[in-house]
Amino acid sequence: MNQRKRRFSSLSGLDIEQVYTADHVKGWSPDADLGAPGEFPYTRGVYPTMYRGRLWTMRQFAGFGTAEDTNQRFKYLLQHGQTGLSVAFDMPTLMGLDSDDPQARGEVGYCGVAVSSLADMERLFDGIPLDQVTTSMTINGPAAVLFAMYLAVAEQRGISLERLGGTLQNDILKEYIAQKEWLFPPEPHLRLIVDTIAYCAKSVPKWHPISISGYHIREAGSTAVQELAFTLYDGLTYVESAVKAGLAVDSFAPQLSFFFNVHNDLFEEIAKFRAARRLWAREMERRYHPKDPRSLQLRCHAQTAGCSLMAQQPMNNVVRTTLQALAAVLGGAQSLHTNSMDETLSLPTEEAVKLALRTQQIIAQESEVTNTVDPLGGSYYVESLTNRLEEGTRDYFRKLDKMGGMVKAIEGGFPQREILEASQRYLREVEGKERVIVGVNDYVEPESRQVPILKISPKVEKAQVDGLAALRAQRDSYRMAGSLQALQEAAATEENLMPYLIDAVKAQATLGEICAALKEVFGTYREPVVL
pLDDT in tens, 309-321: 999 999 999 999 9
Q: Do 254 and 292 meet the contact criterion of CB atoms below 8 Å apart?
A: yes
Q: Do 89 and 104 meet the contact criterion of CB atoms below 8 Å apart?
A: no
pLDDT in tens, 58-116: 998 889 999 999 999 999 999 999 988 999 999 999 999 999 999 999 999 998 999 99
Helix, strand, coil fractions of the chain, as percent rounded to 5: 55, 10, 40
H-assigned helices in 97-185:
118-124, 143-156, 173-174
pLDDT at 380: 97
pLDDT of 173 strictly over 60 = yes
CB-CB neighbours of 212 under 10 Å: 28
pLDDT of 497 strictly over 80 = yes
pLDDT at 1: 41
Please tell me which residue, 516 or 446, carries the higher pLDDT value: 516
Average pLDDT over residues 405-428: 96
User: Coil, helix or strand for 56?
Assistant: coil
Average pLDDT over residues 216-233: 97
Domains of the chain with bracketed CATH: 3-431 (3.20.20.240)
Q: Which residues is 137 bridged to in the sheet?
A: 87, 168
User: Coil, helix or strand for 438?
Assistant: strand
pLDDT interval class at 457 (50, 70, 90): confident
Q: Do 263 and 279 meet the contact criterion of CB atoms below 8 Å apart?
A: no
pLDDT in tens, 23-67: 999 989 998 999 999 999 999 999 999 999 999 999 988 899 999
Cα-based torsion angle of the residue sequence 410, 411, 414, 419 in order, rounded to the nearest 10 degrees:
50
By DSSP bridging, strand 61-62 and strand 57-58 are unpaired
pLDDT of 530 strictly over 80 = no
pLDDT at 348: 87
pLDDT at 94: 97
Mean pLDDT value across the chain: 95
Q: Which residues lie below 8 Å from residue 23, measured CB to CB, with a gap of 6+?
A: none
Q: Is the four-CA dihedral 75, 163, 231, 228 of positive or negative sign?
A: negative
pLDDT interval class at 528 (50, 70, 90): confident
pLDDT in tens, 116-140: 999 999 999 999 999 999 999 999 9
Q: Which residues is 525 bridged to in the sheet?
A: none
Question: Is 340 exposed, middle or buried, given 0-12, 13-18 or 19+ CB atoms closer than 10 A?
Answer: buried
pLDDT at 6: 62
Residue 300 phi, psi dihedral angles, 5° rounding: -145, 150
pLDDT of 5 strictly over 60 = no
Q: Is the four-CA dihedral 531, 172, 395, 273 of positive or negative sign?
A: negative
pLDDT at 109: 93
pLDDT interval class at 4 (50, 70, 90): very low
What is the Cα–Cα distance from 214 to 216, expressed in whole angstroms? 6
By DSSP bridging, strand 300-304 and strand 335-337 are parallel
pLDDT interval class at 248 (50, 70, 90): very high
Q: Which residues lie below 8 Å from residue 16, measured CB to CB, with a gap of 6+?
A: 8, 9, 10
The CA–CA distances, whole Å, from 130 to 23, 127, 465 equal 52, 9, 27
Closest to 199 in 3D by CA, of 136, 122, 251, 254: 251
Residue 453 phi, psi dihedral angles, 5° rounding: -125, 155
In the sheet with 61-62, reading across from the earlier edge strand, the strands are 61-62, 85-88, 135-138, 166-168, 207-208
pLDDT of 531 strictly over 70 = no
Average pLDDT over residues 171-189: 95
pLDDT at 3: 47
What is the Cα–Cα distance from 500 to 510, expressed in whole angstroms? 14
Q: What would the DSSP string read from start to end of 458-510?
A: THHHHHHHHHHHHHHHHS-HHHHHHHHHHHHHHHTTTS-SHHHHHHHHHTT--
The CA–CA distances, whole Å, from 396 to 162, 390, 399 equal 38, 10, 5
In Å, how far from its chain's centre is CA 302?
A: 8
Q: Which residues is 438 bridged to in the sheet?
A: 442
Q: Which residues is 360 bridged to in the sheet?
A: none
